[in-house]
Amino acid sequence: MHATHDPAAAAAPAIGFDDFLKVDIRVGTIVEALPFPEARNPAFKLLIDFGPVIGIKKSSAQITTRYAIEDLVGRQVAAVVNFPPRQIGKFMSEVLTLGFPDAEGEVVLFAPDQAVPNGGRLF
């Protein structure tokens, strides 16, 4: 399942509110960022703290163009936490870190504009 990166793409078909509630999007803080040289597409390995209930989860994020690895720790990000884990090479990605494409199609991370408690659910 790959989302389109085309900002001119039409909106997805309408869904009910119950469908939206099935997608569990939470905020977390990146606690570790590591190189992922074996990834097919340039990416970083992220460890993200989603608070005491969900804990620390791993994610592979293709954000190497817009972000320096040393600037990621401490950033809050949003992620889907209830997709099944996905094997990416030898790395098991447990959550999908969310972002939007910039004008060049590169990923810009989606995050709150003020600090919020880790684990908060998007509504």
**Is 10 inside any structural domain?**
no
Task: With beta carbons less than 8 A apart as the criterion, state whether 27 and 81 touch.
Answer: no
| Residue 80: CATH number of its domain | 2.40.50.140
Q: In Å, how far from its chain's centre is CA 120?
A: 14
**What's this model's pTM, rounded to 2 decimal places?**
0.90
- Whole-angstrom distance, CA of residue 26 vs CA of residue 50: 7
Render pLDDT for 35-64 as a digit per residue (tens, 0 to 9).
999 989 999 999 999 999 999 999 999 999
Q: For 26-37, give the DSSP string.
A: EEEEEEEEEE-T
Q: Would 9 be classed as within a structural domain?
A: no
Establish if 12 belongs to a structural domain. Answer: no
Residue 121 lies in a domain: no
Its domain, for residue 80, covers 17-109
pLDDT at 89: 86
pLDDT less than 70: residues of the chain: 1-5, 7
Structure tokens at 25: 């999007």
Whether residue 2 lies inside any domain: the answer is: no
- State the pLDDT at residue 95: 98
**Domain count along the chain:** 1
